[in-house]
Amino acid sequence: MSNSKKLLKEIKKSSRTWVKTTKDLSLIIIVSVAVVNHMITNDVMIALFTGVSTWVVIVMLVHLVKGFAEHLLEVGK
């Protein structure tokens, strides 16, 4: 019983951290996109934004898989 409670607590803690990191990351991206938007033309902006969003999706997927793998290792101990 106590094992499953501990597991639930860990999942909640790690998901909270992940949400916070994701929020920080999205804020940085929004700010940088806004700055870049003022500096360059729309065509370049669209190309850059598409590249950035693809990169962000990849980074988030890697982060999620890494976090899940680390979590499984912790549970396995």
* Full-model pTM: 0.34
What are the extents of the domains in the chain?
2-76
Predicted pLDDT at 31: 74
Q: pLDDT digit string (tens) for 16-49?
A: 666 676 777 777 777 777 766 665 566 666 676 7
Closest CA to 11 of 19, 32, 42: 19
For 20-74, the three-class secondary structure string (H helix, E strand, C coil) is HHHHHHHHHHHHHHHHHHHHCCHHHHHHHHHHHHHHHHHHHHHHHHHHHHHHHHH
User: Is the Cβ–Cβ distance between 72 and 19 less than 8 Å?
Assistant: no
